[in-house]
Structure 1
Amino acid sequence: MQFANQMKILLIFLFILSHSASGGPLTYAACQTACNKGAMSCYGSAGVIFGVGAVLTCGLAQGSCMVACTPLLAPIIP
Structure 2
Amino acid sequence: MLLLQGPYNSPQPSPFSSSCPQTVPHSHSPTRMRPSILLLPVLAFVSAAQAGPIAYGLCQTGCNTVAVACYAAAGATFGTVVASAAAPAVILACNAALGSCSAGCASFALFAPIP
- Scaled to the shorter chain, the TM-score interval is 0.5 to 0.7
Higher relative contact order (CA 8 A, sep 6+): 1
Q: How does 1:1-78 map to 2 (within 5 A)?
A: 24-53=52-81, 54=87, 55-70=91-106, 71-74=108-111, 76=113
Q: How many residues align?
A: 57
* Distance in structure 2 (CA, Å) of the matches to 1:38 and 1:45: 10
- Unmatched runs of 5 consecutive residues or more in structure 2: 1-50, 82-86
Q: What root-mean-square deviation, in Å, do the aligned CA atoms of Structure 1 and Structure 2 show?
A: 2.5
Query: Structure 1 vs Structure 2: percent identity of aligned residues?
Result: 46
**Residues 50 and 24 (structure 1 numbering): CA distance in 2 closer, same or farther, change over 3 Å?**
same
Q: Which runs of 4+ in 1 moved over 6 A?
A: none
Q: Which has the higher helix share?
A: 1
The structural deviation recorded for 1:50 is 1.7
1:38-74 deviation digits (Å, cap 9, x = unpaired): 0000000110122333310000000000000012112
TM normalised by structure 2 equals 0.43
TM normalised by structure 1 equals 0.62
Could you tell me whether the CA contact under 8 Å between 2:53 and 2:110 is conserved in 1? yes
Give the residue type in structure 1 aligned to 2:100: S
The structural deviation recorded for 1:76 is 3.8
* Distance in structure 1 (CA, Å) of the matches to 2:57 and 2:67: 15
